[in-house]
Structure 1
């Protein structure tokens, strides 16, 4: 009796599988969507707009971890690990290790705040101009590519404490 029930179940399962396969082969290939389906042409849906605000990405995290204020830029001057490669733009300030930036593209700009800057070494491929402030006075310094330039207090007759506020680079 058990053998007969097992055979009946097996035959029943085979018939069901065959019917299901036949339905898939003959009925699943339809080009008509179901009546309740909504269809929208892809061309009718406009993509969203990306708006660049030029704010430096993860500036809050960098400020918290490295105490460096990075404000805005065009993405061609980015903070880099000084040990990662040669030819980086280097900023030297009192009471801290040097700060390095990778410079890419034909030109770039970055606004930032680094106090007590006394020297900048240009990147291997680009010249730089750095803008600095002391009190209400603003001063710019030119930096040749791959050369160290005395800027800020080391270039000031009075030795005043300058803040680096902008870097611009060009090939």
Structure 2
């Protein structure tokens, strides 16, 4: 059996270089270095904040409480077609633009927005699959919203129905 000494010598030499490079000096009295403190303006986390941007200003100006979401459904100016539109006896006409995203072009992603709009009685869907979660008397109801048509909810669903508060809109591409 023949032993190849050249590759073995190369491996031993490389290991010795690594060991010397990373080894602490023997007999050194120098204390270990402490890691530097992060600057005060460095963000504490890279976790995404799902609160709605500008929510305080929108609440002050329009009285619409936007809590959060994934950014694919946003408050919009009513007018053009292709919007999710709702009617409220307290807030009037309110519209949202829904743009659900696709991951890799194959998997449907559902967009959502959490909010509080009282006394909603009608919701009009766009071309996507839309669901609205409303609450009344501490009970939540999920309504499938008709595509490009009005769906009555709360007081709009029939006489004697109490006003309902819209809590969430979810939309996904068909």
CA distance in 2, matches of 1:111, 1:136: 17
For residue 64 of structure 2, what is the aligned residue in structure 1? 68
Counterpart among 97, 117, 120 of residue 120 in structure 2: 117
For residue 130 of structure 2, what is the aligned residue in structure 1? 128
CA distance in 2, matches of 1:164, 1:87: 20
User: Which whole-Å deviations, capped at 9, do the CAs of 1:123-168 have from their partners, x for residues lacking one?
Assistant: 1x21211011112111111112211101122225532011000111
For residue 166 of structure 2, what is the aligned residue in structure 1? 164
User: Which whole-Å deviations, capped at 9, do the CAs of 1:7-48 have from their partners, x for residues lacking one?
Assistant: xxxxxxxxxxxxxxxxxxxxxxxxxxxxxxxxxxxxxxxx97
CA distance in 2, matches of 1:170, 1:110: 12
For residue 98 of structure 1, what is the aligned residue in structure 2? 93
Moved over 6 A (4+): none
For residue 32 of structure 1, what is the aligned residue in structure 2? none
Counterpart among 30, 51, 61 of residue 55 in structure 1: 51
In structure 2, relative to structure 1, the CA distance for the partners of 1:156 and 1:132 (3 Å cut) is farther
Question: Unpaired segments of 5 or more residues in structure 2?
Answer: 1-41, 102-109
CA contact (8 A) 2:72 2:100 kept: yes
Relative to the length of structure 2, the TM-score reads 0.66
CA distance in 2, matches of 1:56, 1:166: 13
For residue 141 of structure 2, what is the aligned residue in structure 1? 139
Question: Unpaired segments of 5 or more residues in structure 1?
Answer: 1-46
Once structures 1 and 2 are overlaid, which stretch shifts more, 54-63 or 134-143?
134-143
Count of paired positions? 123
More strand by share: 2
